Structure 1
Amino acid sequence: MILIVDSGATKSDWIALGEKGEKLFFTQTLGLSPEVLTREVIEDRLANNFELSKNKDNVTHLFFYGAGCGTDRMKKFLKEIFKDYFPKAKAVVKEDTYAAIYATTELGQQGIVCILGTGSNCSYYDGHQLFQKVTSLGYIPMDDGSGNFFGRKLIRDYYFHKIPSDLAIKFNNEYDLDADVIKENLYKQPNPNTYLATFARFLIENKDHPYCKGVIDKGFQQFINNYVMQFELATKVPINFVGSIAYYLREELTAVLERNDLVVGVIRQRPIDGLVEHHKNTM
C-alpha cells in the first residue's frame, strides 16, 4: 500500500493506492506541521484516524508533502515519527511546494509555483529542479497574502477601529472577538496560524465590500512584490497556485496578476489529485 499525503497547516489529505494504482481509501487528519506541533500531538492525530490506524502495518511507501518541511531537521523529525507509526513503510518527506509543483506543472515545464492557503510560499521550477529566493521565517513575519495574513489584518483593523462600522458589527456577530479569547488562541493554544486563518473566511464572504476589496488587493500585491518578483523570469512563465485563498479569491488574484503583466497559470484548491496522478505515472 502506498500513502500519498498533502499536509497543510490546517488539514492533511491522505490517499492510499494499491499496487496497480487503484485508490483504496481517502481520509483526512488535522494538519501535521512539524514547526508548530510536538511529537505527541502528531502521534495523536495519526492514532485518532481510523483508516490510518487500521492500515498502518500494510503501508510500504509513504510520500508526505507538508507545510513546515523545508529544513532537514523537520524532515528528520517527521521521518522518525512515521518510522515508528508505519513500521514497514519507507517514508519520503518533502516540503509542500513539491506537492504544488506536481499538481500544477508537467515534467519539463517551467513555471513559478505559489501556495496561498493557511500560509504562503513561492518557488521557481525549471522543469526538473526547484529554486527558492525567499527562506520562510513562518507566519509571524512572513506568509504574505495567506489566510493567516488576512486574518491578522482583520483582527488588527478591528481593534484599531479601521474597519467600517457596518462591517465591524457583522464581523463581531460572526466571531468571538473578546481580547482574552484571541490571546488564548494565539499564545496558549496549538496552531495559532490556523486560528488566524479562520478569519479569512469573513474576507472571502464579504469580498465585494470596498474595504475587503482593498485588503485583498493590497495583500495579493504585497505577495507578488515580495515573492513572485524575486524571479527574473516572473513575467515570462506561468504563475501557478494551489490553496484555498488562491482558489476562492481567484478572480481577484487574476486581476492583480494581469495588472502586473504576469501570466496566469493553473489555480487549484487542493493538490492531492494532481499528486495521485504524478505518482501513478511514476509507479
Structure 2
Amino acid sequence: MTRYTTLLAVALSSITTQIANAHDVWLQTQSPVIRTGEIAHVDLRLGNHGNHHRDFKLAGRIDLDWVSVDHFKPDGTSTDLREVMFTTASAEKEGYWTTPIVVDQPGMHCLVEQLDRVMQHGKSVRGIRTAKSYFLVADSLDSPTVDRHVHNRPLDLPFELVLQTCPITETTAGQPITAQVLHHGKPISDVVVSFIPEGIELTGEFDPEYEFRTDENGMVSFTPKSANLHLIVAHHAAKDERSDEYEFTSYASTITLHVPNQICNVSSK
C-alpha cells in the first residue's frame, strides 16, 4: 500500500507539472517597428508543448472562443481583434490565427491576449494564460521616435510578465533584458522564466543558459547572445487557488520580443 501511495503521489505530481506547463499562447508581429499607415500582421499562436514546454514551436490552433485579443493604441483606445482574425491552415487545429491591421497612430502599440477557462486534464484545472507583444509605429523608419514608454506598466492581469527593458530603445544582442513577474499585481519570487530564442532547444529540466528564477522582487534578467525572435515565458501553479469547480489554478504568461543586432537610430522624447 505504501508503494502504491508513493507511485500515485508521483503520478499526480507529474500531472500537475504537465498541466502547469501546458500549451502557451503568444502574439507576434512581423517587425518591431512599422511605418505609419502600413500593415502590421498580428499573429495569435499556440505551442511550446515539446521539450518540457520550452520549444517555441507551434502545437495546434487555439479556439478563438476561449480568448480575447486586444490592440491598445498610443491614444489609449483599444480594438478587439478576435472578430477579424482568420486561420492560416485549412485543417482543423493546424496553423495559427492572423490578421493584417492598418496602423495609423505613431507611437508604441501593445497587443494583449487573455484566456481564463476550466479544463479537464485528468483533473479539473483552471487555466489562465496571458500574452503581450509591443511594436512601434513611426513616420520614419530611419529615425523613429518613442514618446511614451508603456512596456513597464502592468496591465492588471492576474499573472503577467512586465518588461523593464524597452523593447525598442534598449533591446539588442549582448545587452541584458529584464522582466518582472506579477501575480495579482504583486511580485512573485522563485518563478522560472524561460528566454527561448526561436530555433534553439533548451536542455535538461532546467537550462541555466536560458532559464532563471525570479528574485524577491519578481525580477529576472537575461542577456541574449545573438539577434533573434525570443519568447519569454513564465509558469506558476497556484495549488491554493481552488474551488468546487477546479482543483488548482495554472498560470502562464508570455512576451514575444524581437532582439536586433544593434539598436536602430531611435530617439526618446
TM-score by length of 1: 0.27
Q: More strand by proportion, 1 or 2? A: 2
